[in-house]
Amino acid sequence: MVVTADAERRALERALHDGAQQRIAALNTTLALAGRRLDGTCDGDAAELVTQAGEEAKRCLEDLRDLARLIYPAVLAERGLGSALRDLAHRAAGFVEVVETPDARFPEPTELAAYLVASEALSNLGESGDATLGGELRDGELRVWVRGASLTGEQLERLSDRVEALGGRLESAAGDEPHVLASLPAA
């Protein structure tokens, strides 16, 4: 079930990328060209509306890219878990120190489960929060952790099901020392 669901997630991300994202990018280009042609040839209100529409198209494209990344992160598929974790840290609301990431590739369901655990944990990190993110291969297990953040009850339940379906374990603790640790079979 996990493999099938992941394949569907990947297909959905691809459809968003190849369809809607490309159309919005083309719309943005057209609006920019229209704005240049209107510049100085009509009242300021029309040119301003075209500029506003272009800015809204840019925001829409960013939102769609974020959504596609949540569905299935392209960086994970293209460059692996280590790059995907570093990308997560870079985009997090607070400061996230990356201490170690695995360079090896793992089975696609394993990489996606590890990524989703880290992503969900970091989504709970406020703008003023700090966290440490890492991953390593140890004794045949891929271990990914986030110190400084924890999972909510719903997140923990959903992600535990995914991790356990792959033969792994997931733990999360809140309180004075919040942390999340996912241990997954590496092969």
CATH number, domain with residue 106? 3.30.565.10
For 174, phi and psi rounded to 5 degrees? -100, -165
Same domain, 66 and 84: no
List the domain range (segments joined by +) for residue 53: 2-71
pLDDT level of residue 154 (50, 70, 90 thresholds): very high
Tell me, yes or no, whether 52 and 116 share the same domain. Answer: no
Number of domains comprising the chain: 2
CB 77 within 8 A of CB 11: no
Asked which of 26, 47, 71 is the last residue of a domain, the reply is 71
Same domain, 103 and 133: yes
pLDDT tens for 78-135 read 899 999 999 999 989 889 999 999 989 999 899 999 999 999 999 998 777 899 999 9
66 and 93 both lie in a single domain: no
> From CA 35, how far away is CA 38, in angstroms rounded?
5
pLDDT score, position 118: 96
Distance in angstroms (rounded) separating the CA atoms of residues 166 and 114: 11
Task: For residues 90 and 167, state if they share a domain.
Answer: yes
Are 101 and 66 within one domain?
no
Do 54 and 89 belong together in one domain? no
pLDDT tens, 46-76?
A: 778 888 888 888 888 887 776 766 666 888 8
pLDDT band at 18; cut points 50, 70, 90: confident
pLDDT band at 2 (very low <50, low <70, confident <90, very high): low
| Domain co-membership, 104 together with 133 | yes
Residues 87 and 149 in one domain: yes
Q: Are 131 and 91 in contact (CB under 8 A)?
A: no
- Whether residue 51 is found in the same domain as residue 92: no
Q: Is the pTM of this model over 0.75?
A: no
**41 pLDDT higher than 80:** no
